[in-house]
Amino acid sequence: MTRETAYAKINLALHLRRRRDDGYHELETLFAFVDAGDILTAKPAAEDRLTTLGEFGEALTDPCGNIVMQALSALPRPEGLDITLEKNLPVAAGLGGGSADAGAIFRIVRELHGLPDDWRERAARLGADVPACVESRTCIGRGTGTELEPAEHSLAGTPVLLVNPRIPLATGPVFKAWDGKDLGAMPEGDSRLIALEGRNDMEAPAISLVPEIAQVLAAMRGTSPFLARMSGSGATCFALYDSNSTRDEAAARIAADHSGWWHIKGNLR
């Protein structure tokens, strides 16, 4: 049996530059990954199968249409795989949960059989975040997010807390609510500088759709992080801390004050 973690994706910075004629958006982002997420296990089978469980497993109502099955279909193999997906990350949450699951499938197939030379193109066809999620390492994304560049990862090991108000938020409406104003390029430098001096241009439109995001950010900023920001299109927010103990205290405070919110602790990979 093969086991992989689908590492939660966060956008340390996300700058929207313009709407494209094809309906997509030109953007610049700094991807980072938390050492926690969904868990996938795989074993050989006569045909591909998927079983979902975990806190958010019931949110995946169409197993055949799940991106895990799409990823399996995208990769040639000599045998099927029986996949069990423990869904620990909320759905439609700005964490790339589905993309992370697909990335984990690519790593499982790579370990068992190797990947085709065009695996990056196959991954991109599944979603803009999937190529970055295959390696799950800090990197810069441009274009629609599929044009990847290495990043100097000065934040490796940084304690991180993720918090979600348990309100799903689809990406499409957030992009639609963006005012279209280009506020400038993402800064150049190492990951810490980009994170601290960058921004998330989807934060304001997301808050206009789900005002609770502002409450989450306010609560997190009250726990002494050196950075708190929304991830991706929301509604999950992240906070970065100088120590695990400060992060753990923050998590306990959030849990006590907002028992209905989802949260998870980890460190940046």
| Token code pair at residue 126 | 């599944």
CATH code assigned at 209: 3.30.70.890
| Structure-token pair, residue 201 | 């241009």
The Cα–Cα gap between 227 and 220 comes to 9
Alpha carbon distance 182, 167 (integer Å): 28
Distance (Å, whole) CA 98 – CA 129: 9
Residues 49 and 93 in one domain: yes
Instruction: State how far the Cα of 148 lies from the Cα of 116, in Å rounded to an integer.
Output: 19
What DSSP element (H or E) covers 213? helix 212-221
- Looking at the structure, tell me whether residues 93 and 133 fall in a common domain: yes
Q: Per residue in 167-215, pLDDT tens?
A: 999 999 999 999 999 999 999 999 999 999 999 999 999 999 999 999 9
Q: What are φ and ψ of residue 69, in 5° steps? A: -65, -35
Q: Would you say the C-alpha torsion 71, 96, 29, 206 has a positive or negative sign?
A: positive
**What is the distance between the alpha carbons of residues 181 and 65, in angstroms, rounded to a whole number?**
35
Q: Is there a single domain that holds both residue 107 and residue 36?
A: yes
- What pLDDT is recorded for position 177? 97
Whether residue 146 sits in one domain with residue 30: yes
CATH classification of the domain holding 109: 3.30.230.10
Together in a domain, 123 and 163: no
Q: What is the pLDDT of residue 64?
A: 64
| Rounded distance between C-alpha atoms, residue 131 and residue 142, angstroms | 12
Give the per-residue pLDDT at 245: 98
Q: Are residues 13 and 77 in the same domain?
A: yes
Of 90, 119, 150, the residue that ends a domain is: 150
* Whether 137 and 106 share a structural domain: yes
Nearest to 16 by CA among 210, 149, 200, 217: 200
Range of the domain at 254: 159-267
Beta carbons of 70 and 26 less than 8 angstroms apart: no
Do residues 118 and 24 share a domain?
yes
Residues 112 and 24 reside in one and the same domain: yes
Which residues are known catalytic residues?
9, 129
The residue among 121, 150, 179 that closes a domain is: 150
Residue 157 has pLDDT above 80, yes or no: yes
Considering the domain architecture, whether residues 115 and 177 belong to the same structural domain is answered as no
> Which of 131, 150, 169 is where one domain is finished?
150
d(C-alpha 40, C-alpha 6), whole Å: 7
Give residues with Cβ within 8 angstroms of 80, minimum separation 6.
44, 45, 46, 47, 48, 49
- The pLDDT, as a whole number, for residue 24 is 84
Question: Quick one: 146 and 243 in the same domain?
Answer: no
Identify the three-state secondary structure at position 262.
strand
Q: Where are the alpha helices (DSSP H) in 35-96?
A: 67-74
Same domain assignment for residues 45 and 143: yes
Q: How many whole angstroms separate alpha carbon 127 and alpha carbon 123? A: 7
pLDDT tens digits, one per residue of 29-81: 999 999 999 999 999 999 999 999 999 988 886 766 789 999 999 999 999 99
Residue 155: what pLDDT? 98
Number of domains in the chain: 2
